Chains A and B, each alone.
Chain A
Amino acid sequence: MGSPPHQTGMIMTWTTLQTAMAEQGYIADDDLAMAVHLALTLGRPLLLEGAAGVGKTEVARVLSDLRETELIRLQCYEGLDAAQAIYEWNYQRQLLSIRAASEHGETGRSVEERIFSEEFLLERPLLKAIRRDTPPVLLIDEIDRADEEFEAYLLEILSEFQVTIPELGTISAKSRPIVILTANGTRDLSDALRRRCLYAHVSYPERATELAILKARCGAIEDRLAGQIIGFVQSLRKEDLEKKPGIAEMLDFAAALMGLGIADLTQDPVVLQACLATLLKTETDRFNITTEVAQRLAGKAA
């Protein structure tokens, strides 16, 4: 169980990490780059918090690309429990096996040992992550959606990197995964979990950063249109919206405009209004951002 950086033999400073992430198409600000760097060097889990659609999940994907390792993802939801997150026994096979054994006259301890062995164990993401030879990136997405009981499970794994299965004993990590947790703030996380993790708050990017993201993802886009799109989306975020458009929405918007062959946002109000479908996702928001409002914002951005 060595620490990750020495295994791959590349020791990065936080600025080279930032550049490397940028090469993979992820523009991270200084705070985030530093937090990721420390998470890698210190082997600590990293908790990323921020509004939906600011690219928290993307950090994990970029890291797995950078490290050329597997990305294991655990999507949290209400009611998530150990059976779906850590491991589960293969009940059907167990039942069949017991029946077969009893027909052969095999009973007692030997059957028990066999059906509670690795062969009958179904690995779920958390167990999978600690049993890999090369450290994978473990993404625990939207941890705040899972209930508090699950947080407690997670704490054991994050602090000890081991899983206890009553029938099999304790399984220790072969390698320490790089753990990224994301949270949207649907509920407050426990202090214990926060303390175990490094923390970075990811907010909507600044104009220059977002422009760089757009350029990195849509290389073909014209400078003028790119500037307009970013200006428009950024001022749209300042409006009173139920659901603010994230980076993914901005990229969809750009793709939609490019697909329709629009070179100037103010060119055609009808098309712009139609393209808003990529940015505004609730009825109230669509209703509030009328053609006039959209034109005003586009005019400012131009």
Chain B
Amino acid sequence: MSQVTKFAARDSGPTARMVGFMSHLRDNGFRLGVGEAELSLQALTHVIAADPAVTRHALRAVCTGSIEEVERFDGLFDAFWMNGGRVTTKTIPTQSPVSDHVHSSRDAAGAENSGAAGTPSTPDSAGEDPAGADGEGKLVASLTQAKMKTDLRDLVRPEEIAEAQVVAQRLGAALRDRRSRRRRQHRKGDRIHFRKVIRQSLSSGGEPLHLARMRRPDRPLKIVTLCDVSGSMATYAQVFLAFVAGMMRADANTDAYLFHTRLVRIAEALRDKDALRALGRLSVLADGFGGGSKIGVSLAQFSQTYARRFVDGRTVVLILSDGYDTDHPDLLSAALEKLKKRGCKIIWLNPLKGWAGYEPVTRAMAQALPHLDVFRPANTLADLAALEQELTRL
């Protein structure tokens, strides 16, 4: 019990604390409103709120809404209510005009100068130093380290996300199919719209003179994006990440993942209302950004886990990768084959393919080709926009 946060004497009571907790959760990306604060207080009147364990269960039921949130809830709960007995004076954080997540080194001049990013033990500037030149390998390792801590916010600007959003919206509109099982009223439908027929037949004494019809309406395809953020893709990551972020914001049905040596689902993080905070959360998830790539393993992991839930016959899987795989190429083709079995369309966008004279010679890429519906170059937003024609034909 000594772990419980103490509140200052001039604290304005339980309601204020609950509001404080809600804004604490909101700051961490939970989508909660005033209604939830009220409901939480109401919920606590129905249980023994003095018991931290009980309170935790109750608030978890009210405040969370998905498995990701359930997993994060315990930590956030502890941070607010169980901070080791320290006194909290301000239960409701004062709103500063600029909230902290907007701070980024992106616009600060010189902050991105990676040469200055060394640590005392592995100085990056060793390259210029003749004395350090003979220590081979050292320089490479430290540079890689610096890359691995890349903040995605430094790579992608909010304006680019807005631009990408427009492109993504158009791509989404291009991808339609006609297999809805619902029916809507339509002049040339394949079934009779009984409700309408009865209504109209009233005027003709029960004689159904005009048969109203209905048919299956068009419905959009779901897009799942898998974005490679390994070292070899670093230069294109900017375009692709903006595209993925734009895609997520344009259409609530899309789903997104990053992979390098492992696969991370970023859909939840990208849905964050604040585009920059979304990227911040992404940076945390994409630990290992710019490292090696294991496309085969990542795709196999995808087809075994998430694909089972999210990929079906109405899904387009969009893979953004250069195909440089450090694993055995058989892994990749096996994973793609398995994914294909779920009935989806697979589109592979390769930035290198934009180069003149590019041939898919890497064995991984060559083996992957038969499983792909579309294999196209793309390394700028314009390229992605040009895909619209291609996708309409799918």
Residues in A lying within 8 Å of B, measured CB to CB: 13-14, 30-31, 34-35, 37-39, 41-42, 44, 47, 49, 78-79, 81, 89, 91, 94-95, 98-99, 101-102, 107, 111-112, 115, 147, 149, 184-188, 190-191, 194-195, 197-201, 240, 242
Q: 1/0 contact trace for B213-237 toward A, CB 8 Å? A: 0000001001000000000000000
Q: Contact: A89 with B198, CB < 8 Å?
A: yes
B117 within 8 A of A: no
Going nearest first, the 6 A-B pairs with the smallest beta carbon separation are A79-B181, A98-B206, A194-B65, A102-B205, A34-B57, A35-B61
A44 and B54 alpha carbons, distance in the complex (Å): 19
Q: Contact: A186 with B309, CB < 8 Å?
A: yes
Interface size on B, residues (CB 8 A): 47
Distance in angstroms from A122 CB to nearest chain B CB is 12
Q: Contact: B198 with A94, CB < 8 Å?
A: yes
Name B194's closest neighbour in chain A (CB-CB): A91
- Partner among B33, B61, B198, B206 whose Cβ is within 8 Å of the Cβ of A34: B61
Residues in B lying within 8 Å of A, measured CB to CB: 31-33, 35-36, 39, 42-43, 46-48, 53-54, 57-58, 60-62, 64-67, 70, 180-183, 194-195, 197-198, 201-202, 205-206, 208, 219, 222, 252-253, 255, 267, 304, 308-310, 312
Question: Contacts A34-B61, A35-B61, A112-B202: A14 and B36 contacting too (C-beta < 8 A)?
Answer: no
- Partner among A78, A149, A195 whose Cβ is within 8 Å of the Cβ of B65: A195
What's the count of A-B pairs with C-beta under 8 Å?
A: 115
Q: Contact: B201 with A42, CB < 8 Å?
A: no
Name A33's closest neighbour in chain B (CB-CB): B57
Name A112's closest neighbour in chain B (CB-CB): B202
Q: Contact: B206 with A38, CB < 8 Å?
A: no
- Partner among A38, A78, A98, A107 whose Cβ is within 8 Å of the Cβ of B58: A38
Q: Contact: B205 with A91, CB < 8 Å?
A: no
User: Which residues of chain B come closer than 8 Å to A30, judged between CB atoms?
Assistant: 53, 57
A41 and B46 alpha carbons, distance in the complex (Å): 7
Mind listing 25 A-B residue pairs with CB under 8 Å?
A13-B47, A31-B60, A37-B47, A38-B43, A38-B46, A38-B62, A44-B39, A49-B67, A102-B206, A112-B202, A149-B182, A185-B67, A187-B222, A187-B310, A188-B267, A190-B252, A194-B65, A195-B31, A195-B32, A195-B36, A199-B64, A199-B65, A199-B70, A201-B64, A201-B67
